[in-house]
Amino acid sequence: MARNDGIDRTSVRNLAVSDKAVGNTQQHNEREKDSYRNPDILPHRTEWNVHFKKPTASYTDLFAQMEAAGTISTRGLKPDATHYCELIFDVNSAYFDNHGGYEFAKQFYADAYKAAVQIVGGEQYILSAVMHADEINRAMTEALGREVYHYHLHVVYVPVVKKQILWSKRCKDKALIGTVKETVMQVSRSKKWASKPLLDDAGKPVLQKNGKPVLKKSYSVLQDDFFHYMRTAGYTDVERGERGSTEEHLTVTQFKVQREQERLDSLTAQIDQKEQHLTQTNKTLSKTEKELAAIQKKAAVTKDALIHAQDMESLGKRTLLGNYSLTEDELSALKKQAAHGYVVDVENRQLKQQLAAAKRDCAEWQARYRDLRNDVQPYLNALRHAPERVRNFFENLLSQKPERTASIPKDRHHEQNAEL
């Protein structure tokens, strides 16, 4: 199936269908229900589905007819034995979409049905074979902006193996005892899908250390057979389903849940990415809003200053003699502004002096730092080249007791002074 790696892969899953579940399988495959739990099924597209073998009766009735006709045998089966199986052939939706869609899918699954006939052992054991074209691939539909469908093939069949019935000891003709009485097609899922010995290039069984043959799982053989058949049919641009994958063991419901989970994970990742982008955008917007608020505040102060300056310019009226006359309010405002300007001028001069002093202090401390750095540079160099030796040196130095200067006797001190 699709791995988002650009590679188209074939896949075939083999499902056991119990007698209790076969009715539901029929209703699903033949689209006999009024409604479906799977929301991807579009009822108006049902007529697009293609039958390569259409059942003429119910699956159980067909089984009974085959048994009555001797086509199959249930002799010796346990009451809970599996009577039905289903093969589901699939390729990722993008493969069909890239090759033309519906018409290409019909031809592909017509060839896949031929492979199913060989896998089952004959068309007479197939109850129904239908290609579903009415299930939409929502992930691709959303991504491409147009409807893309998930084409796949359901083949319901009776698993049979050839079994020889021998003459028993109760046979009157003693010569016939142990010989083949008849050959029947025994219904047996376990024998149909028994693991097979792994063969080497020479066609001989590969053996384990204990001498027993290495067994190859039947599902792996099924995948190989289908892949090789489709390659032979001309579909050389598809690859085999991944080895070691458990897809072929999944039920249809599990498979669809897994695909939807992958789609959900993808959408969740996209949402997380968009949320991170939104968070970053909100941070940028918040920063921009703060910057805008600061600019608006500064602009408001500037606007007030300009208005005030314009008001000051308009003070007074020129007289006929060329002088200016002021009203009492204008004179008061002018005096107030003059006093305020003087105070601001003094504060500015003080701030300039403080700034000059701070610059001098800064230059002095920078000079002291450079001198101190030069003094300790040898120690830093030694610490960088031999940190352990420097550390040990100082530990030994600090662990020693400080040396005491011997005191000079007072009388001896006086004698020294006398000599001087």
How far, in Å, are 76, 167, 183, 186 from residue 177 at the CA level? 20, 5, 15, 21
For 200, the token pair is: 């080497």
Which of 128-137, 143-152, 171-180, 268-277 holds the top average pLDDT?
Answer: 128-137
Q: Give the pLDDT score at 236.
A: 87
CB-count exposure of residue 163 (10 Å: 0-12, 13-18, 19+): middle
Quick one: 136 and 256 in the same domain?
Answer: no
Instruction: Report phi then psi at 118, rounded to 5.
Output: -65, -40
Q: What is the mean pLDDT of residues 105-124?
A: 94
> pLDDT tens digit string along 290-314?
887 888 777 666 666 655 666 666 6
Q: Same domain, yes or no, for 160 and 75?
A: yes
Domain match, 348 and 281 both = no
Domain holding 68: CATH number? 3.30.930.30
Residue 406 lies in a domain: no
Asked which of 177-181, 263-267, 338-342 is least confident by mean pLDDT, the reply is 263-267
Same domain, 233 and 280: no
Report whether pLDDT(122) > 90: yes
Question: Is 191 in the same domain as 272?
Answer: no
> Is residue 210 predicted with pLDDT exceeding 90?
no
For residue 130, being part of any structural domain is answered with yes
| Judgement on whether residues 223 and 162 belong to the same structural domain of the protein | yes
Domain shared by 103 and 159, yes or no: yes
CB 72 within 8 Å of CB 3: no
Task: Indicate whether 302 and 346 sit together in one domain.
Answer: no
**CB of 2 closer than 8 Å to CB of 141:** no
Statement: residue 19 has pLDDT above 70: yes
Q: What is the pLDDT of residues 29-62, one digit of tens each?
A: 999 988 888 889 999 999 999 999 999 999 999 9
A 10 A CB-CB count for 360 gives: 10
Does residue 283 share a domain with residue 156? Answer: no
The domain in which residue 366 lies consists of 324-399
230 and 260 in a single domain? The answer is no
Average pLDDT value for residue range 303-329: 64
Residue 167 pLDDT greater than 60, yes or no? yes
pLDDT tops 70 at residue 68 = yes
Residue 414 domain flag: no
Q: Tell whether 298 is covered by a domain.
A: yes
Q: How confident is the prediction for the chain on average, in pLDDT?
A: 80
Within a domain: residue 208? no
Of 52-56, 213-217, 323-327, 410-414, least confident by mean pLDDT is: 410-414
Q: For residue range 345-380, what is the model confidence (pLDDT) as tens digits?
A: 788 888 888 888 888 888 888 888 888 878 878 877
Look at the chain and report how many structural domains it folds into. Answer: 3
Does any domain span residue 412? no
pLDDT of residue 48: 95
Any domain includes 61 = yes
Domain co-membership, 337 together with 353 = yes
Query: Is the domain of 367 the same as that of 286?
Result: no
Tell me how many degrees the CA angle 257-261-264 measures, rounded to the nearest 5.
Answer: 135
Query: 417 in a domain, yes or no?
Result: no
